[in-house]
C-alpha cells in the first residue's frame, strides 16, 4: 500500500494517479471529505487525517509499504511556523511507532539551511526530524513551483504589471511544475535500487531557469497584452503580503525566504543532491493557469 499525504494537492494528486495507473494500491490522505471524491473515482482508498492528530496519522499509515509525506505551511495561521512544527512532530511520532520501509518527503531547495531562509527552515526541520526514523528516506527537494504565479495573476492582468519579490528582475532562478514533482516522486517510490547514501536527496527543477522578465513576457503572450515586470521595493513587502491575506507571521516567513533567494542561498545543495529536471516549460505551466492560456506562446 502506497500512502500519499496531501493527495488532494497539486503534487499529491499526480502521484496518486500515476501509482493507480501503475496498478498499485493507494491510500490517499486528505484533510477534508470535500477532497475525497476524485481520488475515490480513480480507485484510491481515501483516509481523512489532520496532521495534528497523531492517532489519525497512525491509522492512515497502517499497512504502508511506502509513504509520500507532505506537511503544508498553514497559510492563515497566526503562528504558521509553530503550527507546522507541531504537525511535523505528530507525523514523525506516528511514523516512528510503525515505520514503513520507505518514506519520501516533499521538501524545498535550500532545506539544508537551519536558519535564515524563512519558510524553507520548516522543511529543514521536517528533514531533520525524519532522520530520526529507522527506515529508508528520500528527500525530494523542489524548486519554486511555477503555479505560485497564480497568486499575483489578477493584479498582472488588471494592471499590466507583474509584482515580484525576486530582485533583480533579470536574475534567473530555478522553478518547476508541480506535475513534474509528482511524477518524479512516483519514480523514486518505485525505485527498488538501494540508495548510495541515506537519506537520499534528490532535487528537481525545469530544464531552463527563468527570470521575472521571462514570466511577465510569457503571461503577456498568453493573454495578448503587455505585462511589465515590477520589483516591489523591499520595504513594501510586508504590507503587500498582508494585504493579500497572509497573516503577519506568514508574511515574515516569505520576506525572509525572498531575502535568502535574492542573496543566492536557495539553490541545489552542491555535492549532495541528485539533480533531475522536469520537462514542463514555463509557457506550458502558465498556460494551464492563465485565462485564455490556449494562445500561442514561445517556449
- Least reliable range by pLDDT among 75-84, 89-98, 107-116, 210-219: 75-84
Integer Cα distance of 110 and 35 in angstroms: 30
Q: What are phi and psi of 158, to 5 degrees?
A: -75, -35
So where are the chain's domains? 2-143+176-205+265-278
Please answer whether residues 65 and 192 qualify as being in contact, where contact means their C-beta atoms are separated by less than 8 angstroms: no
pLDDT band at 196 (very low <50, low <70, confident <90, very high): low
Provide the 10 A C-beta neighbour count for residue 21.
Answer: 11
pLDDT tens for each residue of 32-64: 999 999 999 999 999 999 999 999 999 999 999
- Residue 105 is predicted with a pLDDT of 98
Sign (positive/negative) of CA torsion 149, 154, 160, 166? negative
- Residue 293 is predicted with a pLDDT of 63
pLDDT band at 296 (very low <50, low <70, confident <90, very high): very low
Residue 153 has pLDDT above 90, yes or no: yes
For domain 2-143+176-205+265-278, the CATH architecture is: 3-Layer(aba) Sandwich (3.40)
Residue 299 has pLDDT above 60, yes or no: no
Sequence-ordered list of residues with C-beta below 8 angstroms from that of 120, at least 6 positions apart, any chain: 108, 109, 110, 111, 113, 257, 260, 266
- Least reliable range by pLDDT among 17-31, 127-141, 285-299: 285-299
Alpha-helix residue ranges (DSSP H) falling in the chain:
12-21, 36-41, 54-61, 80-97, 120-130, 153-159, 178-190, 212-223, 237-243, 248-262, 282-287
Reading the block at residue 263, the C-alpha cell is 542573496
Amino acid at each position: 500500500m502506497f500512502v500519499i499525504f496531501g493527495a488532494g494537492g497539486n503534487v499529491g494528486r499526480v502521484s496518486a494517479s500515476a501509482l493507480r495507473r501503475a496498478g498499485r494500491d493507494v491510500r490517499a490522505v486528505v484533510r477534508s471529505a470535500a477532497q475525497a471524491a476524485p481520488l475515490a473515482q480513480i480507485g484510491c482508498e481515501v483516509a481523512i487525517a489532520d496532521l495534528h492528530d497523531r492517532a489519525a496519522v497512525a491509522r492512515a499509515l497502517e499497512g504502508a509499504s511506502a509513504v509520500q509525506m507532505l506537511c503544508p505551511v498553514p497559510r492563515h495561521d497566526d503562528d504558521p511556523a509553530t503550527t507546522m512544527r507541531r504537525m511535523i512532530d505528530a507525523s514523525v511520532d506516528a511514523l516512528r511507532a510503525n515505520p514503513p520501509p520507505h518514506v519520501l518527503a516533499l521538501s524545498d531547495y535550500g532545506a539544508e539551511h537551519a536558519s535564515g531562509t524563512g519558510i524553507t527552515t520548516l522543511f529543514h526541520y521536517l528533514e531533520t526530524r525524519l532522520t530520526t526514523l529507522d527506515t529508508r528516506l528520500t528527500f525530494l527537494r523542489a524548486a519554486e513551483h511555477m503555479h505560485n504565479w497564480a497568486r499575483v495573476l489578477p493584479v498582472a492582468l488588471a494592471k499590466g504589471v507583474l509584482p515580484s519579490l525576486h530582485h533583480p528582475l533579470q536574475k534567473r532562478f530555478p522553478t518547476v511544475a508541480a506535475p513534474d514533482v509528482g511524477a518524479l516522486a512516483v519514480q523514486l517510490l518505485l525505485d527498488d535500487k538501494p540508495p548510495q547514501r541515506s537519506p537520499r536527496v534528490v532535487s528537481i527543477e525545469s530544464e531552463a531557469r527563468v527570470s521575472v522578465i521571462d514570466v511577465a513576457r510569457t503571461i503577456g503572450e498568453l493573454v495578448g497584452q503587455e505585462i511589465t515586470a515590477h520589483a516591489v521595493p523591499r520595504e513594501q513587502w510586508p504590507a503587500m503580503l498582508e494585504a493579500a491575506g497572509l497573516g503577519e507571521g506568514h508574511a515574515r516567513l516569505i520576506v525572509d525566504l525572498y531575502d535568502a533567494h535574492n542573496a543566492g542561498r536557495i539553490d541545489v545543495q552542491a555535492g549532495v543532491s541528485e539533480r533531475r529536471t522536469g520537462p514542463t516549460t514555463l509557457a506550458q505551466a502558465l498556460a494551464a493557469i492563465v485565462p485564455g492560456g490556449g494562445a500561442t506562446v514561445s517556449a
